[in-house]
């Protein structure tokens, strides 16, 4: 018999951990390569780290930066820092020295907790290059903790040292700090991956994180028996906010993969009988194409959240997650503001991003007049409800991000049909205006993805002296398939109005595409590459 989840009473992250640990202390929560932790053990370990941070000088309102891959310590630091009323600042493990310096400085982080190195990234060398804590490039940074026992020169303590340092701190001190934390306090500052400007620090409060992620989990029909494969990065909002807390609010388990690789993921999902999948189209493609796929049993997969066009969603369903949920949202909307229901029809989950979540309101407006549009008309998506309290230290961006009615101006295009479901239609800044007519690249891409030889398709605008812009399509072909540009053009002509048919087609390899550290193709850079090629 399935035990229905109980909606948490807690409205802060440390209280949430306490509540579940008190109810089921022995229930497995974290699974990693070298250890397994129950909810009760996680709480005990997090409080030890919290005592160490307190002894180290971390107090309410401080910013604690966290730079490490998907390891249990990531979550222990998360709960420890937020227990003290500090704000966690996750940093991308892909960061180079310049990016690391920007995030640490802009966030006012006084403490950094990191690993020495990960992959080909040497973080202690980067810190030395930047001058270390208190240097002109890191003026706010006062304390650095390194995870491993091999502390580098200039690093204050290791994490083990930190725990020992906190052994003299009593429970009463950190209990008092935890009681002072409220739902409106900022738990996270998540930096968006900027492509044309510096990243923005999106603030997320405790109450919204708990409430909205519970609602996201309800759309997935999660229970305490669910086990989520965490192959996406915890520093990304899709992982450390959305996936983690959707599962945790329902009492489920998190199965950590330190960093994504397809072979390891397939083996991990099979061994741990994971039921919940979170991923992007490139992850689904990597899992599908890996030679181990045919010999791995992924029948345990059931639901989760994924993003992408219908072929990408179908790929996840074919992997085994037959009740996968299509989602729409931004970091600013606490992960998602619209999610399909796991029990919706496959067609609804392939072609829509579902109904607004409880507490969320979605409005479609005309881009010029800002007036609400009737059902079925494409316009700009506005969202009101569980929203960021604002971007950190960026009054100018805040003023432009919200309208007079308190709606977040997303910069995205979509429509709400008579059934109340949202259909995403792309980014406004990606719209192409050719000969005075607007073309939505997403529509063109969806048509091209219907061609049997096409694996990936991206439509972008290129400058043109006569037509303002022309539409170009970048195509990645499936392995073993071939298609000439003229054949692709004819395929488009059969399904699209003439002005929507790309004037140019460019075939590229998968590894030639410019991508962000979360695997998203950067269309701005892609367009620049094509424009440079035309000019050269």
Contact 335, 353 (CB under 8 A): no
User: Residue 25's beta-bridge partner residues?
Assistant: none
pLDDT of residue 193: 59
Expressed in angstroms, the distance from the first to the final Cα of the chain is 66
The reply to whether 39-181 and 431-535 are identical in fold is no
Q: Which residue has the higher pLDDT, 169 or 428?
A: 169
> Hey, CA dihedral for 177, 145, 229, 92, is it positive or negative?
positive
Integer angstrom CA distances of residue 478 from 137, 166, 255, 396, 475:
46, 55, 31, 45, 10
SS (H, E, C) 197-265: CCCCEEEEEHHHHHHHHHHHHHHCCCCCCCEEEECCCCCCHHHHHHHHHHHHCCCCEEEECCCCCHHHH
Helical spans, DSSP H, in 273-359: 281-289, 310-319, 346-351
pLDDT of residue 196: 36
| pLDDT of 10 over the 90 cut | yes
CATH architecture of 39-181: 3-Layer(aba) Sandwich (3.40)
Q: DSSP 3-state assignment of 191?
A: strand
Lowest mean pLDDT among 6-15, 344-353, 461-470, 523-532: 461-470
pLDDT of residue 427: 83
User: pLDDT (tens digit, 9 = 90+) per residue, 330-346?
Assistant: 999 999 999 999 999 99
Helical axes 13-23 vs 39-56, angle rounded to 10°: 140
Selection from 495, 484, 487, 515 nearest residue 446 by Cα = 495
Lowest mean pLDDT among 113-122, 133-142, 194-203, 308-317: 194-203
User: pLDDT (tens digit, 9 = 90+) per residue, 91-100?
Assistant: 999 888 988 9
Residues 484-492: contacts with CB under 8 Å, at least 24 apart: 488/448, 488/451, 488/454, 491/447, 491/448, 491/450, 491/451, 492/444, 492/447, 492/448
pLDDT of residue 194: 44
List the Cα angle 351/353/358 in 5-degree steps: 150
d(CA 473, CA 115): 41
What is the pairing mode between strands 379-384 and 408-416? antiparallel
Lowest mean pLDDT among 19-23, 324-328, 439-443: 439-443
Q: Structure tokens of 166?
A: 């906190």
Selection from 462, 430, 429 nearest residue 443 by Cα = 430
Q: What is the DSSP letter of 84?
A: T
Q: Which residues contact 502 (CB under 8 A, 6 or more apart)?
A: 444, 459, 471, 472, 473, 489, 492
pLDDT of residue 195: 37
List the Cα angle 384/387/389 in 5-degree steps: 125
Residue count (the chain) = 536
d(CA 210, CA 494): 48
d(CA 392, CA 107): 7
Q: What is the DSSP letter of 373?
A: P
For the chain, the average pLDDT equals 93
d(CA 209, CA 211): 6
Q: Which residue has the higher pLDDT, 149 or 520?
A: 520
pLDDT of residue 496: 86
Phi, psi dihedral angles at 150 (to 5 degrees):
-85, 80
Q: Structure tokens of 82?
A: 């937020």
Contact 305, 220 (CB under 8 A): yes
What is the biggest distance separating any 2 CA atoms in the chain, rounded to whole angstroms?
A: 74
d(CA 531, CA 455): 23
d(CA 381, CA 410): 6
**Superfamily of 431-535 according to CATH:** ANL, C-terminal domain (3.30.300.30)
pLDDT of residue 26: 98
| pLDDT of 150 over the 70 cut | no
CATH of domain 204-427: 3.40.50.12780
Contact 18, 49 (CB under 8 A): no
Contact 382, 409 (CB under 8 A): yes
If residue 527 lies in a helix (H) or strand (E), which one and from where to where? helix 523-535
pLDDT of residue 4: 76
- Per-residue pLDDT band for 434 (boundaries 50, 70, 90) equals confident
Contact 502, 473 (CB under 8 A): yes
Helical spans, DSSP H, in 36-94: 39-56, 72-83
Q: DSSP 3-state assignment of 528?
A: helix
Helical spans, DSSP H, in 302-451: 310-319, 346-351, 395-401, 441-448
The arithmetic mean of pLDDT across residues 117-136, rounded, is: 93
Q: Which residue has the higher pLDDT, 256 or 425?
A: 256
Domain residues of the chain, as ranges?
39-181, 204-427, 431-535
d(CA 507, CA 483): 9
d(CA 363, CA 380): 8
pLDDT of residue 465: 77
Contact 112, 144 (CB under 8 A): yes
pLDDT of residue 94: 87
Other CB atoms within 10 Å distance of the CB of residue 221: 18
Q: Structure tokens of 128?
A: 């030395």
| pLDDT of 435 over the 80 cut | no
| pLDDT of 154 over the 60 cut | no
User: pLDDT (tens digit, 9 = 90+) per residue, 57-113?
Assistant: 999 999 999 999 999 999 999 999 999 999 999 999 988 898 899 999 999 999 999
d(CA 182, CA 286): 41
Helical spans, DSSP H, in 59-137: 72-83, 97-107, 123-129
d(CA 355, CA 421): 5
294, with CB counted inside 10 A (0-12, 13-18, 19+), is exposed
């Amino acid at each position: 018999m399935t035990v229905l989840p109980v909606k948490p009473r807690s409205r802060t992250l440390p209280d949430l951990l306490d509540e579940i640990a008190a109810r089921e202390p022995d229930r497995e929560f974290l699974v990693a390569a070298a250890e397994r932790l129950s909810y009760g053990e996680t709480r005990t370990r997090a409080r030890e780290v919290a005592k160490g941070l307190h002894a180290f000088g971390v107090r309410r309102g401080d910013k604690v930066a966290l730079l490490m891959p998907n390891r249990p310590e990531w979550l222990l630091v998360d709960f420890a820092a937020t227990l003290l009323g500090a704000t966690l600042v996750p940093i991308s493990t892909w960061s180079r020295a310049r990016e690391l310096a920007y995030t640490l400085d802009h966030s006012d982080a006084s403490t950094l907790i990191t690993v020495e190195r990960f992959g080909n990234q040497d973080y202690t060398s980067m810190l030395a290059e930047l001058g270390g804590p208190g240097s002109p490039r890191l003026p706010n940074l006062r304390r650095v903790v390194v995870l491993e026992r091999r502390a580098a020169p200039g690093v204050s303590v290791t994490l083990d040292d930190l725990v020992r340092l906190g052994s003299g701190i009593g429970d009463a001190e950190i209990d008092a700090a935890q009681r002072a934390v409220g739902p409106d306090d900022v738990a996270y500052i998540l930096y968006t991956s900027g492509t044309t400007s510096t990243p923005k620090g999106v603030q997320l409060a405790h109450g919204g994180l708990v409430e909205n992620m519970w609602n996201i989990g309800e759309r997935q029909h999660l229970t305490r028996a669910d086990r989520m494969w965490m192959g996406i990065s915890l520093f990304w909002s899709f992982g450390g906010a959305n996936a983690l807390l959707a599962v945790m609010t329902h009492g489920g388990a998190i199965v950590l993969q330190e960093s994504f690789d397809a072979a390891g993921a397939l083996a991990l999902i099979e061994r741990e009988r994971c039921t919940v999948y979170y991923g992007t189209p490139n992850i689904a493609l990597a899992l599908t194409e890996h030679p181990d796929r045919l010999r791995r049993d992924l029948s345990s997969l059931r639901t989760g959240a994924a993003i992408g066009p219908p072929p990408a969603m179908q790929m996840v369903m074919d992997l085994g997650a037959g009740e996968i949920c299509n989602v729409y949202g931004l970091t600013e909307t606490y992960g998602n503001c619209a999610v399909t229901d796991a029990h919706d029809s496959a067609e609804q989950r392939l072609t829509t991003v579902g109904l607004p979540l409880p507490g969320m309101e979605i409005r479609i407006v005309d881009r010029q007049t800002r007036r609400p549009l009737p059902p079925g008309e494409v316009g700009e998506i506005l969202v009101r409800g569980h929203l960021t309290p604002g971007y950190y230290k960026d009054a100018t961006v805040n003023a432009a991000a919200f309208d007079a009615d308190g709606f977040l101006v997303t910069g995205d295009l979509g429509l709400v049909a008579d059934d109340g479901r949202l259909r995403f239609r792309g980014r406004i800044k990606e719209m192409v205006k050719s000969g005075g007519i607007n073309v939505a690249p997403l529509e063109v891409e969806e048509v091209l993805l219907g061609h049997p030889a096409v694996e990936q398709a991206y439509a972008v605008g290129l400058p043109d002296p006569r037509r303002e812009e022309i539409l170009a399509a970048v195509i990645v072909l499936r392995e073993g398939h071939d298609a000439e540009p003229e054949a692709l053009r004819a395929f488009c002509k059969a399904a699209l109005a003439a002005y929507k048919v790309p004037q140019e087609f460019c075939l590229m390899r998968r590894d030639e595409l410019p991508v962000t550290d979360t695997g998203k193709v950067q269309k701005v850079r892609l367009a620049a590459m094509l424009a440079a090629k035309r000019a050269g």
